[in-house]
Chain A
Amino acid sequence: MSKEQEFKQKILIADDSEMNRSILTDMLESEYEIIEAENGIEAVNAIQKHGPELSLILLDIVMPEMDGFGVLEVMNKRHWIEEIPVIMISSESSSFHVERAYQMGITDYISRPFDALIVHRRVVNTIVLYAKQKKLVELVMEQIEEKEKQSSLMIDILSHTVEFRNGESGLHVVHIRALTKLFLEHLVQISDKYSFSREEISMISTASALHDIGKISIPGEILNKPGRLTKEEFDIMKTHTTIGAEMLENLSFHQDEPLVKEAYAICRWHHERYDGRGYPDGLKGDEIPIHAQIVALADVYDALTSERVYKKAFPHEKAVRMICDGECGTFNPLLLKCLTDIADTLQDSLNNTGENQTDEKELQDILEEKLQPKEISASERMVQLLEHERMKCSFYASMSEEIQFEYTMNPPMLTLSGWGAQKLGLPEIIMDPQENSKVVSIINIEDIKKLSNLLKSTSPKEPVVKYDCKVTIDGESRWMRIVAQAMRLLDEPEKFTGIIGKAVDIHEARLRLDALERMASHDTLTGLLNLGYAERRIMEHLRDDISGRYVLMLLDVDNIKEANDSRGRMFGDQILAHVAGILRQNTGESNIAARVSGDEFLYFAKCNSDEEQAARKVMSVLEGEYEGFRISVCAGTVSTEDEGKDYKELFMKADKALLEAKKGGLGQHRSYKNV
Chain B
Amino acid sequence: MTLQECYQSLEGDFADVLGRLRSEKMVQKFVLKFLNDKSYDLLCSSLEEGNYEEAFRASHTIKGVCQNLSFTKLYQSSHQLTEALRNGLSPEAPGLAEQVKKDYEQTVAAIHRLQEENA
User: Which residues of A does B touch, CB under 8 Å?
Assistant: 16-20, 22-23, 26, 60, 62-64, 90-91, 112-117
Measured between alpha carbons, how far is A18 from B61 in the docked complex, in Å? 10
Is B20 in contact with chain A by the CB < 8 A criterion?
A: yes
**CB atoms of B30 and A63 under 8 A apart:** no
Interface residue from A23, A62, A64, A117 paired with B68 (Cβ < 8 Å): A23
Chain B residues whose C-beta falls within 8 Å of the C-beta of A16 in the assembled complex: 57, 61
Measured between alpha carbons, how far is A19 from B35 in the docked complex, in Å? 10
Chain A residues whose C-beta falls within 8 Å of the C-beta of B30 in the assembled complex: 19, 22-23
* 9 nearest A-B residue pairs (beta carbon): A113-B67, A17-B61, A112-B67, A115-B20, A19-B65, A62-B60, A91-B64, A116-B21, A113-B68
Is B39 in contact with chain A by the CB < 8 A criterion?
A: yes
**CB atoms of A91 and B33 under 8 A apart:** no
Is B37 in contact with chain A by the CB < 8 A criterion?
A: yes
Chain B residues whose C-beta falls within 8 Å of the C-beta of A60 in the assembled complex: 64
Minimal beta-carbon separation of A93 from chain B (angstroms)? 10
Measured between alpha carbons, how far is A19 from B63 in the docked complex, in Å? 12
> Do A17 and B20 form a contact, CB below 8 Å, given A22-B33, A91-B60, A112-B64?
no
**CB atoms of B57 and A114 under 8 A apart:** no
> Who on chain B is nearest to A19 by CB?
B65
Minimal beta-carbon separation of A366 from chain B (angstroms)? 47
Measured between alpha carbons, how far is A112 from B16 in the docked complex, in Å? 13
**CB atoms of B64 and A20 under 8 A apart:** yes
**CB atoms of A19 and B20 under 8 A apart:** no
Chain A residues whose C-beta falls within 8 Å of the C-beta of B64 in the assembled complex: 17, 20, 60, 90-91, 112
**CB atoms of B33 and A19 under 8 A apart:** yes
Measured between alpha carbons, how far is A62 from B57 in the docked complex, in Å? 7
Chain A proximity mask over B1-45: 1 for CB below 8 Å, otherwise 0: 000000000000000100111100010011001101111000000
> Given contacts A17-B64, A23-B68, A62-B60, could you give 6 more A-B pairs where the C-beta distance is less than 8 Å?
A17-B61, A19-B30, A64-B54, A91-B64, A115-B19, A115-B20
> Who on chain B is nearest to A113 by CB?
B67
Minimal beta-carbon separation of B44 from chain A (angstroms)? 16
Chain B residues whose C-beta falls within 8 Å of the C-beta of A63 in the assembled complex: 57
Interface residue from B36, B57, B67 paired with A64 (Cβ < 8 Å): B57
Measured between alpha carbons, how far is A116 from B38 in the docked complex, in Å? 24
State how many residues of chain B have any CB contact under 8 Å with chain A: 25
From A18, A114, A115, name the one whose CB has the most chain B CB atoms within 10 angstroms.
A18
Measured between alpha carbons, how far is A120 from B92 in the docked complex, in Å? 39
Minimal beta-carbon separation of A40 from chain B (angstroms)? 12
**CB atoms of A20 and B65 under 8 A apart:** yes
**CB atoms of B22 and A19 under 8 A apart:** no
Measured between alpha carbons, how far is A88 from B103 in the docked complex, in Å? 29
From B39, B57, B64, B67, name the one whose CB has the most chain A CB atoms within 10 angstroms.
B64
> Do A116 and B22 form a contact, CB below 8 Å, given A20-B64, A23-B68?
yes
Measured between alpha carbons, how far is A376 from B33 in the docked complex, in Å? 49
Minimal beta-carbon separation of B87 from chain A (angstroms)? 14
Chain B residues whose C-beta falls within 8 Å of the C-beta of A113 in the assembled complex: 16, 20, 67-68, 70
> Do A17 and B26 form a contact, CB below 8 Å, given A22-B33, A116-B20, A116-B21?
no
**CB atoms of A19 and B37 under 8 A apart:** yes
Measured between alpha carbons, how far is A17 from B61 in the docked complex, in Å? 6
**CB atoms of B20 and A114 under 8 A apart:** yes
A-B contact pairs, 29 of them (CB 8 A): A16-B57, A17-B61, A18-B36, A18-B37, A19-B33, A19-B34, A19-B65, A20-B65, A20-B68, A22-B30, A22-B33, A26-B26, A26-B29, A60-B64, A62-B56, A62-B60, A62-B61, A90-B64, A91-B63, A112-B67, A113-B16, A113-B20, A113-B67, A113-B68, A113-B70, A115-B19, A116-B21, A116-B22, A117-B22
> Who on chain A is nearest to B66 by CB?
A113
Measured between alpha carbons, how far is A18 from B37 in the docked complex, in Å? 7
Measured between alpha carbons, how far is A112 from B29 in the docked complex, in Å? 19
Chain A residues whose C-beta falls within 8 Å of the C-beta of B33 in the assembled complex: 19, 22
Chain A residues whose C-beta falls within 8 Å of the C-beta of B21 in the assembled complex: 23, 116
From A20, A60, A90, A113, name the one whose CB has the most chain B CB atoms within 10 angstroms.
A113
Chain B residues whose C-beta falls within 8 Å of the C-beta of A116 in the assembled complex: 20-22, 26
Chain A residues whose C-beta falls within 8 Å of the C-beta of B61 in the assembled complex: 16-17, 20, 62
Measured between alpha carbons, how far is A112 from B26 in the docked complex, in Å? 17
**CB atoms of A17 and B39 under 8 A apart:** yes
Minimal beta-carbon separation of A507 from chain B (angstroms)? 39
Minimal beta-carbon separation of B28 from chain A (angstroms)? 12
Measured between alpha carbons, how far is A60 from B61 in the docked complex, in Å? 10
Chain B residues whose C-beta falls within 8 Å of the C-beta of A90 in the assembled complex: 64
Chain A residues whose C-beta falls within 8 Å of the C-beta of B38 in the assembled complex: 18
Measured between alpha carbons, how far is A601 from B72 in the docked complex, in Å? 78
Measured between alpha carbons, how far is A17 from B64 in the docked complex, in Å? 9
Chain B residues whose C-beta falls within 8 Å of the C-beta of A18 in the assembled complex: 36-38
From A16, A60, A63, A90, name the one whose CB has the most chain B CB atoms within 10 angstroms.
A16
Chain B residues whose C-beta falls within 8 Å of the C-beta of A22 in the assembled complex: 30, 33
Within 8 A of A (CB), among B90-109: none
Within 8 A of A (CB), among B59-79: 60-61, 63-65, 67-68, 70
Minimal beta-carbon separation of A574 from chain B (angstroms)? 61
Minimal beta-carbon separation of A83 from chain B (angstroms)? 28
**CB atoms of A17 and B65 under 8 A apart:** yes
From B29, B34, B65, B70, name the one whose CB has the most chain A CB atoms within 10 angstroms.
B65
Minimal beta-carbon separation of A321 from chain B (angstroms)? 72
Measured between alpha carbons, how far is A90 from B37 in the docked complex, in Å? 18
Measured between alpha carbons, how far is A20 from B34 in the docked complex, in Å? 10
> Who on chain B is nearest to A115 by CB?
B20
Measured between alpha carbons, how far is A68 from B29 in the docked complex, in Å? 27
Chain A residues whose C-beta falls within 8 Å of the C-beta of B34 in the assembled complex: 19
Chain B residues whose C-beta falls within 8 Å of the C-beta of A64 in the assembled complex: 54, 57
Chain A residues whose C-beta falls within 8 Å of the C-beta of B36 in the assembled complex: 18
Measured between alpha carbons, how far is A23 from B36 in the docked complex, in Å? 14
> Who on chain B is nearest to A111 by CB?
B67
Chain B residues whose C-beta falls within 8 Å of the C-beta of A19 in the assembled complex: 30, 33-34, 37, 65, 68
Measured between alpha carbons, how far is A355 from B106 in the docked complex, in Å? 78
From A19, A23, A64, A117, name the one whose CB has the most chain B CB atoms within 10 angstroms.
A19
Chain A residues whose C-beta falls within 8 Å of the C-beta of B68 in the assembled complex: 19-20, 23, 112-114
Measured between alpha carbons, how far is A117 from B29 in the docked complex, in Å? 18
Minimal beta-carbon separation of B85 from chain A (angstroms)? 11
> Who on chain A is nearest to B65 by CB?
A19
